[in-house]
């Protein structure tokens, strides 16, 4: 375990600004809206702010306030935050982000999770929090070989918790984290006491077409989610198809152009958040840019995209798990309980009318309380 501190060379920041100011902007059809992709006028203004208004050093200082470490597992560097609770009975909890997320998603919930007493909560709900950067993402750096799917990542996180001497712990995750956390229950069932997920898809949604007779038995909320899922598959999953089939081709553009990387990520903050027309209506633009920076500075656009390829080619589909599992369904989520119960032991199910894909950063109050509520049942 090697202590780690972020200290990006000034030359890297100067290079970023130069690239931003020299962007060759594409043509835009008059009146083009988000349905065609990120609008040029919007992205030009955001890129200008990135170049001349955004303060990376402030973000760097905030991340450096938290204990950070790196270690090597299976030949792969793994970076992680490790924030211990002052409460002696705290439960260890590993939090797994997804794509296009990062450790930035969890910065606002670390305090309430580790020290509920100081945040108006019950000290009995305290956690020791471990937040790894997924191998191939951000500060864990690029993966050096093929095969890093969610099951292998779960195995690495289980080894990380073993090295931290946590023999009994919980797992939480959203998006790809909702692949990793359940897989932790599969590869380390003797030590994982419970799993909590949000933004859950595979293993929590129907696989293939849903017969009309089955749809007729659904609740109104289930039909809404089924419709949202159908819209995603028809109109919003182009990024998935590219990353799951040709991640290397995509990587050339994203590794060379910060505006390309920004557009690729900010589109998801516009489409997957809840309650705003623009991404920053829901998530502060500085937080969005800090998240983008962790991809840009580490040149991990390509290997983060490779996770989709690995998932679609590994053959490691969800298998039944007996570990108690809690599901938080936020307003933009698509999980449906009847399908989640086919491979998961669901013991907690919550539904919310706000919050979206990036729940910990969009609705930290709801996220924290639901995590606390579920893990009270398995502590």
Question: The domain spanning residue 250 has which CATH number?
Answer: 3.40.50.1820
281 is catalytic: no
Which is the catalytic residue, given 239, 295, 308, 309? 308
User: How high is the pLDDT of residue 278?
Assistant: 97
Closest CA to 267 of 252, 288, 295: 288
The total number of structural domains in the chain stands at: 1
pLDDT beyond 90 at 376 = yes
122 is catalytic: no
Containing domain of residue 180, as a range? 2-376
357 is catalytic: yes
pLDDT in tens, 10-43: 999 999 999 999 999 999 998 878 999 999 999 9
pLDDT beyond 90 at 239 = yes
Which is the catalytic residue, given 196, 274, 357, 370? 357
pLDDT bucket at 318, cuts 50 / 70 / 90: confident
pLDDT beyond 90 at 316 = no
Kind of pairing between the strands at 127-132 and 91-96: parallel
pLDDT in tens, 191-230: 999 999 999 999 999 988 999 999 999 999 999 999 999 9
pLDDT in tens, 262-286: 999 999 999 999 999 999 999 999 9
pLDDT in tens, 66-122: 999 999 999 999 999 999 999 999 999 999 999 999 999 999 999 999 999 999 999
pLDDT beyond 90 at 315 = no
Coil, strand or helix: which one is 135? coil
Dihedral sign for Cα atoms in the order 1, 108, 346, 214: negative
Which is the catalytic residue, given 115, 125, 175, 183? 175
Burial level of 219, CB count in 10 A (0-12/13-18/19+)? Answer: exposed
- Sequence-separated contacts (24+) of 5-12 with Cβ below 8 Å: 5/64, 5/68, 6/60, 6/63, 6/64, 6/68, 6/139, 7/60, 8/56, 8/60, 8/297, 12/297
């Amino acid at each position: 375990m090697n202590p780690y501190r972020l200290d990006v060379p000034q030359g890297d920041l100067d290079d970023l600004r130069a690239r931003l100011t020299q962007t060759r902007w594409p043509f835009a059809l008059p009146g083009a809206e988000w349905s065609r992709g990120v609008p040029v006028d919007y992205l030009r203004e955001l890129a200008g702010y990135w170049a001349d208004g955004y303060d990376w050093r402030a973000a760097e200082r905030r991340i450096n306030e938290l204990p950070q470490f790196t270690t090597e597992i299976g030949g792969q560097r793994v970076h992680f935050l490790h924030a211990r609770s002052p409460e002696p009975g705290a439960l260890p909890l590993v939090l797994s982000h997804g794509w296009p997320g990062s450790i930035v998603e969890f910065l606002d919930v670390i305090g309430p999770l580790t020290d509920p007493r100081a945040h108006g909560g019950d000290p009995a709900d305290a956690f020791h929090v471990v937040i790894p950067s997924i191998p191939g993402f951000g500060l864990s750096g690029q993966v050096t070989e093929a095969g890093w799917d969610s099951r292998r990542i779960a195995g690495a996180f289980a080894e990380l918790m073993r090295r931290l001497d946590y023999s009994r712990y919980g797992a939480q995750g959203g998006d790809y984290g909702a692949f990793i956390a359940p897989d932790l229950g599969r590869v380390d069932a003797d030590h994982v006491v419970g799993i909590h997920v949000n933004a859950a898809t595979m293993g929590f949604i129907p696989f293939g077409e849903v017969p009309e007779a089955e749809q007729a038995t659904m609740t109104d909320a289930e039909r809404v989610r089924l419709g949202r899922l159908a819209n995603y598959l028809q109109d919003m999953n182009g990024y998935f198809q590219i990353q799951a089939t040709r991640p290397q081709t995509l990587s050339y553009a994203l590794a060379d152009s910060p505006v390309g990387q920004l557009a690729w990520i900010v589109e998801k903050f516009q489409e997957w958040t809840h309650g705003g027309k623009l991404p920053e209506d829901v998530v502060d633009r500085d937080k969005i840019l800090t998240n983008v920076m962790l991809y840009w500075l580490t040149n991990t656009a390509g290997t983060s995209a490779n996770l989709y390829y690995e998932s679609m080619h590994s053959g490691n589909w969800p298998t039944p798990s007996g570990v108690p599992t809690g599901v938080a369904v936020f307003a933009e989520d698509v999980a449906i309980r009847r399908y989640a119960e086919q491979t998961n032991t669901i013991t907690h199910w919550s539904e919310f009318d706000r919050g979206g894909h990036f729940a910990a950063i969009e609705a930290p109050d709801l996220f924290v309380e639901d995590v606390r509520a579920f893990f009270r049942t398995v502590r």
